[in-house]
Amino acid sequence: MNSEGGILNNRRETVLILDFGSQYTQLIARRCREEGVYSRVESWDWPLADIKKLDPVGIILSGGPNSVYEEGAPVRWDDLVGLGVPVLGICYGLQVMMLREGGVIEAAHSREYGRAKVTIQAESRLFHGVDAEQPVWMSHGDHTTRLADGWKQLAISDSGIIAAVEDARRNFYGVQFHPEVTHTPAGDKILRNFLYDICCAKGGWSMRSYSDEAIEQIALSLGDNGVICALSGGVDSSVAATLVHKVAGDRLRCVFVNNGVLRKNEASEVESIFRPRFKDSLITIDASDDFFADLAGISDPEQKRKKIGGRFITVFEAEAKRFKDAKFLVQGTIYPDVIESSSSKGPAKIIKSHHNVGGLPEKLGLKLIEPLRDLFKDEVRQLGRELGLPESMLMRHPFPGPGLAVRIIGEVTRDAVKILQEADAIFIEELREAGWYPHVSQAFAVLLPVKSVGVMGDNRTYEQVIALRSVDTRDFMTADFSPLPHDLLAKVSSRIANTVRGVNRVVYDVTSKPPATVEWE
Ligand code: XMP
């Protein structure tokens, strides 16, 4: 296992998804795994030699935003034909296939986007067990107007376009709609037909098999060497460390750094979850004095991030050097991180701006172990469950590397952190109590440097403001504020204003992202 290959190897039955830039590519990968077949996404131009090495049971060509005739549009088909592997082209994937086979693709008069109905016109293994009339999800400009020789039309949409095709002799199939989205109710069945009836997959892939394979691969990579891990207490690093600990035992050193800007009781919670599991492998370092010293007098958000990232590396490096046997560093990189930082993934790529410990492995001369590289977030949680990690930890909202420092507007002091920790803990406790916590994506409190006038008993107060933030989002690139009920907000507000010293006013942030961001800094 290494940073290039994750834990993928040739032994595992895999369906290969070639990505032409669709926003739904990851969804195709998810659906295949849910059906019990491991899937792997690669860029549309992934070398043929690598495809042969992977030896996939089937190939899916994703959709994409281009038109096949556009200059520079990604087109790849010819070298896949001779592989003898079944292929399913979805939307743009179908158009690429059809174009290179000799069919005709044309621009529609208007883009077809959203719900549509298709009628299945011919028997096909792809539609086995699927009703003749189907609601589907369409999202395309171009479509096929003439089929290539040897191809057969399987379905038509209510606007009269060719909706599905096959060349059953060669096991090539194409759909103009998106079977991977939930708006295509028969999509699961269609993908299952492709995977099992057409690709003849055996299936049976599950998180348990992932865990077993990962453990085997980690053992092979590590040998007798030592390995270190920066444990943040977040889901990804916790699951990665737990997996590696199964193999490495006390050859693993998990370093948890208390930077002073953690949530209330966070350090003790990490201790109570991981000490019984990791025993002496867990090393906790309280470096909060150093972090606060670095942060003194600093108000600029980017400066705060730089200071915290820099100090973290210094602390971690010193600890790593004490552990002379260490040749590897575990990182909880997950699949969306890999996709986001890749530059060849076309227009669906997302720019990630937060790298907390970038450059660490190079600096320390360590090789990377990234056992979660192939997994989506909820698959990581599933794996964590397999490994016996507590639900409370697995379902926790994300927390930024620079911690409360980017939630204290202005200078970060110990006093400010204390106030914010208390207010934040009340908010989270009430969200949990009301059953809302698992239904929002991320919730937290922010301490503002603004003072406002209040009244307590007969006395005038002049204290700080707490802003509550709760957002709903799928990918954190865009977000909406959560529609929390008024009585819940009222309860949180009253508890914070009445019990947190230094705060006399609470406001709720009702801004979406964009134009705001999730964090205030
Ligand atoms: P923004 O504020 O950019 O946040 O809308 C999106 C998500 O990223 C998290 N975030 C960070 N995570 N280091 C991190 O590890 C950072 O510097 C950082 N800044 C924001 C934020 O909590 C949200 O989940």
Q: Pairing state of beta strands 442-456 and 326-330?
A: unpaired
3-state secondary structure at position 203: coil
Per-residue buried b or exposed e for 415-436, using 16+ beta carbons within 10 Å of the residue's own CB:
ebbebbbbbbbbbbebbeeeeb
Distance CA 78, CA 273 (A): 53
Q: Which pLDDT value is given to residue 364?
A: 79
Q: Which pLDDT value is given to residue 112?
A: 73
DSSP string, 26-75: HHHHHHHHHTT-EEEEEETT--HHHHHHH--SEEEE---SS-TTSTT---
3-state secondary structure at position 307: helix
pLDDT tens figures, 486-511: 999 999 999 999 999 999 999 999 99
Active site residue 180: yes
pLDDT tens figures, 240-265: 999 999 999 999 999 999 999 999 99
Q: Which of 32, 42, 140, 178 is catalytic?
A: 178
DSSP state of 263: P
At 348, is the pLDDT very low, low, confident or very high (cuts 50, 70, 90)? very low
**For the CA of 520, the nearest atom of ligand 1:** 2
Q: Report CA-CA distances (Å) from 74 to 43, 44, 108, 121, 351.
A: 10, 7, 20, 31, 21
Q: Has residue 2 got a pLDDT over 70?
A: no
More confident residue, 49 or 324: 49
Q: Among 286-300, 345-359, 390-404, which is the least confidently predicted range?
A: 345-359
Distance CA 22, CA 303 (A): 36
Q: Are 235 and 293 in contact (CB under 8 A)?
A: no
Listing from the earlier edge strand, what are the strands of the sheet with 162-167? 38-43, 14-19, 58-61, 87-90, 172-175, 162-167, 152-157, 104-120, 133-146
Same fold, 207-394 and 413-508: no
Residue closest to 431 by CA, chosen among 480, 467, 468, 382: 468
Distance 384 CA to ligand 1 centre (A): 22
Q: Which pLDDT value is given to residue 327?
A: 94
Distance 406 CA to ligand 1 centre (A): 9
Q: Are 362 and 313 in contact (CB under 8 A)?
A: no
Which of 305, 441, 480, 518 gets mutated to test ligand 1 (max ligand atoms within 8 A of its CB)? 518
Q: Among 107-116, 256-265, 318-327, which is the least confidently predicted range?
A: 107-116
Active site residue 433: no
Per-residue buried b or exposed e for 130-154, using 16+ beta carbons within 10 Å of the residue's own CB:
beeebebbbbbbbbbeebbeebeeb
| Mean pLDDT confidence for 124-129 | 98
Tokens of 511: 């801004």
Output the 3-class SS for 110-130.
EEEEEEEEEEECCCCHHHCCC
At 11, is the pLDDT very low, low, confident or very high (cuts 50, 70, 90)? low
Q: Tell the CATH topology of 413-508.
A: GMP Synthetase; Chain A, domain 3 (3.30.300)
Q: Tell the CATH topology of 14-198.
A: Rossmann fold (3.40.50)
Which CATH entry fits the domain spanning 207-394: 3.40.50.620, 3.40.50.300, 2.60.40.10, 3.90.730.10?
A: 3.40.50.620
At 391, is the pLDDT very low, low, confident or very high (cuts 50, 70, 90)? very high
Q: Which pLDDT value is given to residue 365?
A: 86
At 109, is the pLDDT very low, low, confident or very high (cuts 50, 70, 90)? low
Q: Which pLDDT value is given to residue 3?
A: 40
Q: Where are the alpha helices (DSSP H) in 297-448?
A: 301-322, 335-341, 360-364, 377-386, 391-394, 414-433
Domain residue ranges of the chain, discontinuous segments joined by +: 14-198, 207-394, 413-508
| Mean pLDDT confidence for 344-362 | 49
Number of H helices, E strands in the chain: 16, 18
Active site residue 178: yes
